[in-house]
Structure 1
């Protein structure tokens, strides 16, 4: 019986991604090649690793779950040894891949890149972009990313494998065109739409399911701006705010997006607090990297940056309270 590291990598990828087709994208392999390696692994072990049935998700057998868990431990140990080797014996330095979602880009990535440059053992820094935290956690668990800042909720199921550091509560705010007078906004909140600004207040930007709080966002509109409908749809929060800046609609966006917006966009948008909608943001990295001082130092500095600059108090300076609505 001989199981290869490549086969363990394939099994880990499928276990994390939930299907062979999704795993192939992370592995950079064709589906026939993945299936061939899995068949060889099953032959070597004398067991089936997957339940054979028509389903969009790949279901592991008990033996498959055992080997998926073993694969995570074995591969983490190998990758830890390789990283330590580079740190101790290889003068070329370490390569660091940092992952973040679109709401934490712009100026934030500039500062993170400066931190990477300040750690002398890091010889290369790569910023890995992911559409949302769900995609980012896959990259993190497959070790395509070393350190990531993402939604804490997505990290919870993987705490056994990851070191997690809580950073801040990222409040969700309502973005409204600055051209809309507060009185007109208050009128729409009270169910009136007689002003000439009602058009943009009766439309909002729907970001689909890229954010886990999207259902809360839709419920908010149904309850407080019931005349508004999701005319626009887009895949990033920054794009949604740009549509608002054009005076076309409103949208919900994480507070952390605000400092990364261009100045000309920010001045055309007014942000209102919505205390009832929030997400927690965390920094996460594989546990074995805690023993590698350059990664540990980088993570500590990024955590400090985020805690200093992305607090509710600091970002709250650019927000206004929701207008009082005495007409309802």
Structure 2
């Protein structure tokens, strides 16, 4: 894919005589939205892809050898690789307007109008390869992990991935990609559900619990520190709704523009859906955590069974001493 990316980018600039025609072609805002809000709308749609990876990232980083390897991969993978991908997409769309007189927002549509059949074949082959590998890493594994967590007695990660593959066809994704408006509406709608989730996780870790850290054993202890209210963190649910509900009118209009009563102000607010939802959920969760603070330590000591390099040692470990354990330890809660 990197070689194809370079080839497409080079061809686009050469065929369109450089960046000049691409940059100076006038914009034509549609649907009554100004250029500024359309720009925000496009940024929100682009960030939706990164937001889904940010939420699903622990499904893969859990297997990292150390935190540094995760940091390096994320620092390169998300901001650099995704930005280059978006730059290529915008460049190809602008090139299609210069060469063919119409905008091909989907690179595959522009590849179809090429005259060179071998080039069309290899480009389509690499795009298919990229789609399969990206979905396995970004969607299939995370979906399998989620189903395994919900139904551990019946579903493992592999079975969850098979279910994901079936559902992937059942939702008819080709209808979503049929038009640019449908695809952007899907991405923006996707963001208002994922943005509150990532905002709550970041707020909980960096603002609410940063000074006290996490008690690893209590994460796996029923009715422990993180049991919350009957197993439900109502603060997170309330913050999620605070980040979601104000943006629903804009989402409804994107799905069905014929529904009345939705003003331009709602639509302009929805153009920054990812940022708006993140800020609302973050503030709501932090305020609720201050008003109803979480317990800071367990009421009782945990009886743990440590399996260290094949040798088991039964002992009672207090929450304060658990963080001192290191190495390749496997903790079993009795």
Tell me which interval the TM-score lies in, with the shorter structure as reference length.
under 0.3
Q: How high is the TM-score relative to the length of structure 1?
A: 0.24
Indicate the structure with greater helix content. Answer: 2
Indicate the structure with greater strand content. Answer: 1
